[in-house]
């Protein structure tokens, strides 16, 4: 009997993937490939490419050890096709195959490419998520507003996580109120696990060094795990050392502390090396056995079964044009300092420098620093989206786009969030220690040396008043502006115009 081709993509590195479950290892051939089109459709961070190629090679080796026949296309093999469809066609001829079994891709772009591929492809739902697509669509049906909190409660009920019978453990669904503390420097701050590259990873690092010299980011040192065993060790270290304080300092930023109490597990979850429900159950055990407080564990679980599942559902529901939304008609080009960290703004410099070096920044840096600046400065949301998609090791469009286009840039007009996450310098000052060492003065509202976030904040709100003025959640803020002294208003707008003019001229900020 002819074999079927079993497609396993770079973010499907899960042994019980739907396509593998449907396959017969005595008959079928698993197809995996490092194709140039996937590595190049944006200039992905070199650490992200290396992580995925190394993890794919090890996953393929593991499948072979389990008795699978694997046809693996390496990037440096001249026969490997440039695209996933091309590679399937090549293997189809090689094995005289009888159709393809695939697991549904996360991104619209790839779904389209497989739809257009002239082979018979049976696509199975990706059941590595807690909510199925149909379940999310049913939940969303008929609702006037889609808010994460309501969806999250249903996911708690569905999984039984942190439930005492029908009630939320501790009597509350959400402990976010307790989770907004600034952090202090701590000599004993936990660090994410650092994995030393083995021979396979070293070989991939050398390949990436030569093949992607013009891509973003710094490749070495490279300390990501590249298999499930390593990712599980990283998760255990997080549970032991950082989870107990994850809640309290979830929104904090500290100069020189790149990870604080965050898990740095998103890249493993998104590639399929870790299972989201397992991870949440592990976190719940930490609370039930008295090793981590409820506010931390609830916060962590909410990010995964709440936000992660919610944005995935929205991405599917919003359709392939979501990334071209531009509700606020923002058109400015992304400044060069997003690529090279060459800025005097200490908070931006810290977030972008660690993005270059680590392919990682935590949520508040993405949302309230780099995202906030782009929002206030009116940067084209599609350019912002492409930046976020390129620079983080965990970036895939299904999770990145709702966070960028929706939550951070409000370019979807309020699908993900009910108001823009816009903030002046006071927010960064409250949640971090960056301002103390900054060339700008966070207390100055306008004029020479004023923190750029301050005048840009007001300028953003006034520039977009026609669109945002009716948003009930912004009413008090617009009322504050209306009460403000006329000279202060003029000074803020003049400062904003000077900063935006400098940005347009490519000047230093
Ligand atoms: C503009 C912007 C772009 C983003 N792009 C991505 C992206 O490409 N890929 C990605 O995985 N996350 C993205 N996020 C969400 C979030 O910032 C990252 O998931 C998180 O910083 C990953 O670091 P961590 O593993 O240490 O997370 P932790 O703070 O330890 O949180 C635990 C887990 O919760 C999940 N999570 C937390 N917040 C979110 C969220 N808002 N949406 C989805 N999952 C969440 C992640 O899986 C994460 O590993 C983005 C956020 C913003 C504001
Ligand atoms: S003063 Fe402004 S630019 Fe400087 S670190 Fe503070 S918030 Fe950032």
Which ligand is nearest to the Cα of residue 274, counting in written order?
A: 1
Radius of gyration of the chain measured on its C-alpha atoms: 24
pLDDT of residue 423: 98
pLDDT digits (tens, 9 = 90+) for 398-420: 999 999 999 999 999 999 999 99
From 278, 301, 303, 407, mutation site for ligand 1 pocket: most ligand atoms within 8 A of C-beta: 303
Q: Quick one: pLDDT at residue 224? A: 98
CA 56 to CA 70: how far, in whole Å? 12
CA-nearest residue for atom 26, ligand 1, is 264
Q: Give tens-digit pLDDT for 349-391.
A: 999 999 999 999 999 999 999 999 999 999 999 999 999 999 9
Report the separation in Å between the CA atom of 454 and the middle of ligand 2, taken as the mean of its atom positions.
9
Q: Nearest C-alpha to atom 5 of ligand 2 is from which residue?
A: 435
**HEC assignment per residue over 445-480:** CCCCCECCHHHHHHHHHHHCHHHHCCCHHHHHHHHH
How many angstroms separate the CA atoms of 197 and 229, rounded?
Answer: 14
What was the pLDDT predicted at 250? Answer: 87
Ligand 2 in reach of 56 Cβ (< 6 A): no
Give the separation between CA 495 and CA 458, rounded to whole angstroms: 10
> Which residue's alpha carbon is nearest to atom 8 within ligand 1?
395
Tokens representing residue 276 in the block: 């989201």
User: Quick one: pLDDT band at residue 185, thresholds 50, 70, 90?
Assistant: confident
Q: What is the number of residues in the chain? A: 509
**160 C-alpha vs ligand 2 centroid, how far in Å?**
42
**Kind plus residue range of the DSSP H or E element containing 351:** helix 346-358
The Cα 214–Cα 112 span in angstroms is 28
- Give the position, in ligand 2's atom list, of the atom nearest the Cα of 442: 1
The best mutation among 394, 408, 421, 423 to test binding of ligand 1, ranked by most ligand atoms within 8 Å of the C-beta, falls on 394
- 3 state SS of 438: coil
Q: What's the Cα-to-Cα distance from 479 to each of 39, 201, 335, 465, 484, rounded to whole Å?
A: 48, 57, 32, 12, 9
Q: DSSP 3-state assignment of 69? A: strand
Model's pTM, two decimal places? 0.97
Which ligand is nearest the CA of 354, by number? 1
Ligand showing the shortest atom-to-Cα distance for residue 440 = 2
Among residues of the chain, what percentage have pLDDT more than 70? 100
Q: What is the average pLDDT across 142-166?
A: 95
Phi, psi (5° rounding) for residue 140? -75, -25
CA dihedral 173→174→178→183, nearest 10 degrees, is: 140
Apex 230 CA angle, 229 and 231, nearest 5: 95
Protein residues whose CB sits closer than 6 Å to any atom of ligand 1: 262-266, 269-270, 300, 303-304, 307-308, 311, 362-363, 366-367, 371, 388, 392, 394-395, 399-400, 403-404, 407-408
Among 37-41, 290-294, 425-429, which stretch is predicted with the lowest mean pLDDT?
Answer: 37-41
Mean of the pLDDT values across residues 175-185? 81
- Cβ-based neighbour number of residue 413 at 10 Å: 12
pLDDT-derived band at 99 (thresholds 50, 70, 90) equals: very high
Query: From the alpha carbon of 259, which atom of ligand 1 is closest?
Result: 26
By most ligand atoms within 8 Å of CB, the mutation choice from 277, 379, 399 for ligand 1 is: 399
Any atom of ligand 2 within 6 Å of the Cβ of 392: no
User: Is 429 near ligand 2, meaning CB less than 6 Å away?
Assistant: yes
d(CA 55, CA 10): 8
Q: What is the reported pLDDT for 180? A: 78
From the number of C-beta atoms within 10 Å of its C-beta (0-12, 13-18, 19+), residue 124 rates as: middle
């Amino acid at each position: 009997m002819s074999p079927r081709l079993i497609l396993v993509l770079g973010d499907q590195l899960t042994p019980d993937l739907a396509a593998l479950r449907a396959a017969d290892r005595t008959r079928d051939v698993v197809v995996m490939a490092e194709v140039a089109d996937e590595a190049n459709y944006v200039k992905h961070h070199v650490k992200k490419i290396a992580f995925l190629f190394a993890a794919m090679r090890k996953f393929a080796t593991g499948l072979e050890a389990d008795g699978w026949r694997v046809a693996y296309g390496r990037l440096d093999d001249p026969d490997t096709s440039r695209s996933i469809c091309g590679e399937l066609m090549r293997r189809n001829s090689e094995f005289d195959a009888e159709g393809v079994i695939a697991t549904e891709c996360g991104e619209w772009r790839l779904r389209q490419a497989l739809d257009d591929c002239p082979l018979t492809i049976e696509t199975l739902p990706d059941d590595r998520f807690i909510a199925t697509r149909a379940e999310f669509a049913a939940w969303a049906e008929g609702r006037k507003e889609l808010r994460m909190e309501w969806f999250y409660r249903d996911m708690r009920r569905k999984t039984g996580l942190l439930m005492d019978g029908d009630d939320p453990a501790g009597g509350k669904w959400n402990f976010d109120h307790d989770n907004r503390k600034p952090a202090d420097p701590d000599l004993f701050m936990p660090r994410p696990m650092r994995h030393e590259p083995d021979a396979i990873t070293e070989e991939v690092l050398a390949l990436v060094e030569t093949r992607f010299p013009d891509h973003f980011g710094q490749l070495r040192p490279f300390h990501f795990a590249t298999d499930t065993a390593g990712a599980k060790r990283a998760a255990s270290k997080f549970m032991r050392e950082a989870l107990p304080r994850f809640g309290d300092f979830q929104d904090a930023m500290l100069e020189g502390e790149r990870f604080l109490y965050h898990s740095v597990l998103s890249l493993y979850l998104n590639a399929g090396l870790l299972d989201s429900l397992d991870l949440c159950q592990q976190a719940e055990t930490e609370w039930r056995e008295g090793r981590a407080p409820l506010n931390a564990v609830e916060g962590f679980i909410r990010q995964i079964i709440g936000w992660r599942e919610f944005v995935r559902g929205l991405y599917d529901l919003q359709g392939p044009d979501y990334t071209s939304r531009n509700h606020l008609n923002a058109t400015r080009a992304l400044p060069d300092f997003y690529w090279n960290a060459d800025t005097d703004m200490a908070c931006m410099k810290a977030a972008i420098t660690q993005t270059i070096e680590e392919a990682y920044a935590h949520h508040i840096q993405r949302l309230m620093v780099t995202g906030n600046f782009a929002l206030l400065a009116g940067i084209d949301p599609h350019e912002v989206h492409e930046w976020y998609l390129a620079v983080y090791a965990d970036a895939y469009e299904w999770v990145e786009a709702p966070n960028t286009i929706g939550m951070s840039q409000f370019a979807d007009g309020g699908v993900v969030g009910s108001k823009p996450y816009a903030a002046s310098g006071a927010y960064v000052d409250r949640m971090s220690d960056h301002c103390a060492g900054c060339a700008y003065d966070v207390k100055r509202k306008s004029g020479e040396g004023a923190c750029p976030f301050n005048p840009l904040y007001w300028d953003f709100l006034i520039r977009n008043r026609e669109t945002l003025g009716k948003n009930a959640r912004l009413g008090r803020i617009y009322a504050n502006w209306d009460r403000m002294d006329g000279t202060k208003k003029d000074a803020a707008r003049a400062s904003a115009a000077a900063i935006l003019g400098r940005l347009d001229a490519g000047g230093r900020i």
